[in-house]
Structure 1
Amino acid sequence: MENTASAMASMEKLDHSNQAFPVSEFIDEYDASSGGIYPSHWHREMELQIILAGSARYTVNGETYVVKEGNALYIAPNAIHQSNSLEPGTVGYNLVILPVLFTRILKNIHCEQYSLPLTMLQPSAFLITADSKTGFSILETMRRMYYTENSNHAYELFLLQNLLGIWRSLLALFPKPASNAADSPKLLKENRMRNMLEYIHENFFQPVTISQIAASANISRSECFRCFSDMSHITPMEYLNQYRMFEATRQLTTTNKPITDICYAVGFNSTSYFSKEFKKIYQMTPREYRESKKI
């Protein structure tokens, strides 16, 4: 399988190997038998994912999209999104692109109007299917990109040519952007959610309360619950637990730390409770999970 990389690399802060050409490719190998959940996060890049096998559910800024095999999803820069596999063996091919790649080129040729969806962040997501010729063309292009070896001659030019073609096609499919005032209720809620997620990501390893999460966005506890319900369809504490478990799986597969140490490192103060909650999500104990990931 070409262009493989850890799915963890698609979380929040991406390290593009070539800053002058800020495009990265990843393979997301979902594993439904062990959860297959990627908690809510965001990043400054736009993202395109085509599902090569299986199917996945995405929640983007509170809207749900089911992406079936052969279909793809566009996610705007800074959109808060999460995903989970819907069946065993789900695999996706991801492209993450800093908007400056397009905006720089379009500015140089005085075509800035074609970068409006990136600067207005609308739409926040768009499902790409083969129902139209344009959608079919995008999907075929993404499949061709997946199967092309990145060692090929002038590979960056190959990527750029195809990405510009995809963007042109997406512009034809995108709905007309609505008003996007900086103080709109939706944008305000998204900004609050980003602040709260950032607080959790930076403090998950220690005791965290609803009041602390709410305070990070300068809102009440009740508004905190509303934000999480609208944007992620779970409670703040459910998200905290989900993120702790996600971090636990990372440490179980990338370190040799004792399971007890991992339990405390991700914010739990009881190994028995940690194991119980872990098994509830992943259908196996932490030890069994670690063993299942060994090659």
Structure 2
Amino acid sequence: MQYINYRESRQRGTADFPIEYHHVSPTHPQYIMALHWHVEFELIRILSGSLKLTVDEEEYTAKAGSSCFIPAGTIHAGEPDNCVYECLVFDMNVLMNKNDDCCRLIRRVIDHQVELPHHFPDSRAGINRIVWSIFDASASKNEGYQLVVLGAMYQLFGTIFATHDYKPVPEKQTRTHRRILQLKQALEFMESSYNQPITLEEMAESVGMSPKYFCRFFHEMTHRTPVDYLNYYRIERACYQLMTTNLSITDVAYGSGFNDLSYFIKTFKKYKGTTPKKFLR
């Protein structure tokens, strides 16, 4: 699983079964879930530790035994704390069959007509039992696991509707929607230009804001300054390259937007608590 691009756009699973399963432990190349979004929906289950999850402008701490639901197109990020977690990224259209009643309910989720909870704590035992069965079947890859996954997904959303565990989406969320779109624009600019020199003025200009207002806006949305997040993203990108390519530390540094090796090492240690050389051991 790679959370490098802010907007992930690729085939999930197969065309016939567009559901993709990932197991993420501390040794995973992208253990920290950087801000990103994708056109599919996502389920996350926490096996151990905790995951500080940001979904649009809301924050949750998901602990072992809990699960999370991420709507399509939603900006989200996760900071694990001694955590092992799993993700299931899926195209909700896989549940759209010829049963009109089922399609009508699933369509309300796909079209964002209803808002489902983003976090199901471990106290939600009934919901989490269903989520666990989805993940267990996905991990097993036993013959017929696809039937188990689809059946459990119907059970999950059926239970949510049966218990009215959702709320209608207000017709107008103009300001919030606009802010999220602006953040996506800023993140796309960083993602496309991180390996080049970028000024604060250029980042602000990418969303039509003054540098001062952009700094305040970005911090409100991400709890980081723009420069801090850019450097954080560059180091995450560098980590991925160090673990998945044979590039030297120097080449990775320059390819990640740093023009000074010593500054790269200093910044790397700030975010990772170790040097690039020790990180590779």
Q: Same fold (TM over 0.5)?
A: yes
* Match runs of 1:39-78 below 5 Å: 39-78=34-73
Counterparts of 1:203 and 1:136 in 2: how far apart (Å)? Answer: 44
Q: Secondary structure at the match of 1:19?
A: coil
Deviation per residue, 1:43-66 (Å, 9 max, x gap): 111111110011110111121100
Question: How many residues align structurally?
Answer: 278
Query: Is 1:25 aligned to 2:17, yes or no?
Result: no
Matched, 1:251 2:247: no
Tell which has more relative contact order, 1 or 2 (C-alpha 8 A, sep 6+).
1
Among 152, 164, 181, the alignment partner of 2:154 is 164
Show CA shifts across 1:3-57 (max 9, x none).
xxx454897234323123211111121469x995322111111111110011110
SS in 2 for 1:218: coil
| Counterpart residue identity of residue 176, structure 1 | K
Query: Residues of 1 paired with 2:166 and 2:141: CA distance?
Result: 37
Report if aligned partners of 2:63, 2:122 keep a CA contact under 8 Å in 1: no
1:179-238 CA-to-partner distances (Å, cap 9, x unmatched) read 1437x1000001111111111111100011222222222333234223322221111111
Q: Which residue of 1 aligns with 2:86?
A: 93
Could you say which residue in structure 1 is the equivalent of 2:32?
37
Q: 1:236 pairs with 212, 226, 231, which one?
A: 226
Q: 1:266 to 1:52 in 2, by over 3 A?
A: same
Amino acid at match of 2:44: Q
Distance 1:260 1:130, change over 3 A: closer
The residue number in structure 1 matching 2:110 is 118
2:169 matched residue in structure 1: 178
User: What is the rounded CA distance, in whole Å, between the counterparts of 1:127 and 1:173 in structure 2?
Assistant: 15
Report the secondary structure of 1:197's partner residue.
Answer: helix
Q: CA deviation at 1:167?
A: 1.8
Query: Alignment partner for residue 185 of structure 2, among 192, 195, 204?
Result: 195
Supply the distance in 2 between the matched residues of 1:7 and 1:125 (Cα, whole angstroms): 25
* Alpha-carbon displacement from aligned partner over 1:140-161 (angstroms, at most 9, x marks no partner): 1232333335432222212111
Question: How far, CA to CA, are the matches of 1:223 and 1:106 in structure 2?
Answer: 50
Letter of the 2:133 partner, please give it. Answer: R
Q: Unpaired runs of 5+ in structure 2?
A: none
Q: In 2 relative to 1, CA 10–275 (structure 1 residues): closer, same or farther, beyond 3 Å?
A: closer
Moved more, 52-61 or 16-25: 16-25
What runs of 5+ residues in structure 1 fail to find an aligned partner? 1-5
C-alpha contact (below 8 Å) 2:116/2:166 kept by paired residues: no
Matched residues, percent identical?
Answer: 27
Residues 218-260 of structure 1, C-alpha deviation per residue, up to 9 Å, x if partnerless?
3332342233222211111111111101100000000110100
Q: Retained in 2: the 8 A contact 1:76–1:122?
A: no
With over 3 angstroms needed to count, the CA separation of the structure-2 counterparts of 1:123 and 1:242, relative to structure 1, is farther
> Using the alignment, how far apart are the partners of 2:134 and 2:89 within structure 1?
13
Describe the shift of the 1:240–1:21 C-alpha distance in structure 2 as closer, same or farther (beyond 3 A): same
CA contact (8 A) 1:35 1:282 kept: no
1:222 aligns with 2:212: yes
1:74-119, CA deviations, whole angstroms, 9 ceiling, x for partnerless residues? 1111111111112x2x1111111123223x3377557424432331
Moved more, 108-117 or 191-200: 108-117
Larger deviation: 244-253 or 226-235?
A: 226-235
Q: Which residue of 2 aligns with 1:105?
A: 97
In 2, are the aligned partners of 1:56 and 1:84 still within 8 Å (CA)?
Answer: yes
Normalized against structure 2, the TM-score is what? Answer: 0.89
Contact 2:24/2:31 (CA < 8 Å) preserved in 1?
no
CA contact (8 A) 2:4 2:34 kept: no
Return the letter of the residue paired with 1:53. Answer: S
**For 2:65 and 2:229, how far apart are their aligned partners in 1?**
30
Q: 1:176 to 1:109 in 2, by over 3 A?
A: closer
